[in-house]
A and B are shown apart, each in its own frame.
Chain A
């Protein structure tokens, strides 16, 4: 047993070293264009630029960040599709862009046109309200809605709008679902009283800690780190969830050594909390989540194929 274990460890070590060596051999043939699907200056944009900065310092690679915003990341994917696939073009989107949004856009592109490199952080998606509303859990919102109160539900993407609709349907109430641009806008709307509740993907952490905001439910398949007692969407009768990540992708056909080298470098930076990028991720999302390789390919493909089921359910 012991010997097998030792052999196993040795083999594993060898495997790591060899991929490491293989990855280390790869160097980009020129400067890397980093496309960013988020508005310049926002939290997600800052994250991407800091990762580029850290990689420039650590690896000596040269990055050219470029904003390609709009249509929930679909604009970026459409632009990236025909770019060189030698590792000199990468882009950061959310898994929802490659999944639900590509499926909904119906623009003739699929996840197979891209290759996932690495995720950086997962969302802590909660359904949030001001604590001054007096609601402590989602059941209170449902009770208020059944009592005749109109509930405005802020969402920041079509997928979340579908989820909000299904959530109302499962609970037997009608929400007034209001689409706004970005999580920050949901938070502003909730703070200003224009919205009653809304999806927030981690931005609410400080407000919840201060007691101004309250996580009424988790939008994920799992409970929230910050408010583990809040019910999940499954608890509330919705069989879909908003699990998602920030993810670096490239055009399909990037050679394996380039993909591995990029993935290793990015994952190394974001999981190191002493780097600026790692620090900001720790602050906003409670830590990094790095999914790479085949696991990421599967994740992206599933997100895309599940989208149809969600749209059908919401379309009923």
Chain B
């Protein structure tokens, strides 16, 4: 069995799987249909503000398993469906971000910065085209890297990063995000600090539920959906309702934005966007390959790098980033979409998820059985067939099929979403609120979760009112648990060395960079204030 034999077997396992129905005498495998269904559901879910891929995957997984059962034939249809949702949701997530300024997923937050201003200028369809093109390009690049590098890259990364280095890397991510988002490092640090405070309530290793004030509701901590969806989505709904109220008082009516100007994406524009897409795709892919760091950091980095390049190269009278330039959308969408493929590198070769979507792929593999993500997957056996490797190549094939759907159906679907701008905001915002609360209740099934989400919504509203970015809060909330865990583990693993963050050169460099990025940004923003 050579490498090519395995690739061929993997492709066949998708196309020749159990037959669902036949079309003009050609059998159509159930896996293909499942990828398509997952992809369409993914776009719909991603385009619905308040829903996101992981929620859809979480709801779909138990249903799929009870339909397909626990034998190996179920692996590719179920995981194909989940991969479809993952890819569809990433591309769909840009739709509400661009049209309604409400990111469906945290990683689409940066898309709102230039996407929504374009909508306000009457360029909604064009913004969607830019998002789709960048997203699909980044996705394709990432898939290619996954297939070429999966066996080697993750093993290398894992070999050089031990527990103290991983802890230092998490600290670096948090400090970077606090420093660069929103322009003010102080506000960023406040936002991240609040996120850490929230996630440390009721959690931890001790049996005593810390910071819970003796209440049973707080002793379980805040569910992640309530904090993330509350601050990001409910907060922006509250802010939107307030703006709507002001607008109505001033003008007496609610404005409807009409499309203006050329909505097409010209080849010359693609050429101009391409360097931004390429850089972001590389950034997103590199970040996706690191275990534990998700697409939100990739989107942020892609946007920041794109912004730097744009400011160096732009003509004097070109508009700034954040006022509706297509480059901003391209840089963000290419980065967050290129995470999904590369994210499977640590999943498949080490069994360690890099983001929430990857968690559900691992859960599917574990629940069904017959596929153990880990180093044993990439063992090219010469004499016997390694069935896990066949499944791995089957998954790669599924990713490419989803990618093909992305280029074709994805574009059509996104463009058709342009009509949703005609839905008046005073009808849409309550619907978004209802969907978000429903999604939270579906996940948590207790009333306390709704109250938490509303409270986080109020927090998100005030953060927006005070021009504090909610994103460091959300990322700190997501990474906080991991940070505490890996710090405790690194401390224990080094035999109780209190200076574990400073003894290894790699960790020391990460720590110096964490301090450096905050100081550097603070000095620079102070300098730009004085000069202005």
Contact = CB atoms under 8 A, between A and B. Distances in A.
Interface of A: 40-43, 46, 49, 53, 64, 66-72, 74-75, 78-79, 101, 104-107, 150, 152, 158, 174, 176-181, 184, 187-189, 191-195, 206-207, 210, 212, 276, 279-280, 283
Nearest to A106: B207
Contacts of B61: 41
Contact of A179 (B66, B208, B489): B489
Contact of A191 (B58, B70, B203, B351): B351
A283 B369 contact: yes
B68 to A, nearest CB: 11
A36 B33 CA distance: 34
Given A179-B492, A210-B376, A53 B352 contact: no
Contact of B446 (A66, A74, A188, A276): A66
Contacts of B360: 41
Nearest to A46: B367
Interface residues of B, number: 45
Given A178-B489, A276-B70, A71 B62 contact: no
A188 to B, nearest CB: 6
22 contacts: A42-B366, A67-B444, A70-B220, A71-B207, A71-B209, A78-B216, A105-B208, A176-B493, A176-B494, A176-B495, A179-B488, A179-B489, A191-B350, A191-B375, A192-B158, A192-B350, A194-B493, A207-B376, A212-B375, A279-B70, A280-B70, A283-B369
A66 B445 contact: yes
Interface in B363-403: 363, 366-367, 369, 372, 374-376
Contacts of A176: 492-496
Contact of A194 (B58, B163, B209, B363): B163
B328 interface: no
The 9 closest A-B pairs by CB, nearest first: A105-B207, A41-B363, A178-B492, A152-B493, A178-B489, A176-B495, A178-B493, A192-B158, A46-B367
Interface in B9-61: 58, 61
A62 to B, nearest CB: 15
Interface string B91-112: 0000000000000000000000
B160 to A, nearest CB: 11
Contacts of B65: 46
A68 B374 CA distance: 30
A68 B66 contact: no
A187 B374 CA distance: 10
Contacts of B202: 70
Nearest to A76: B220
Contacts of A207: 372, 374, 376
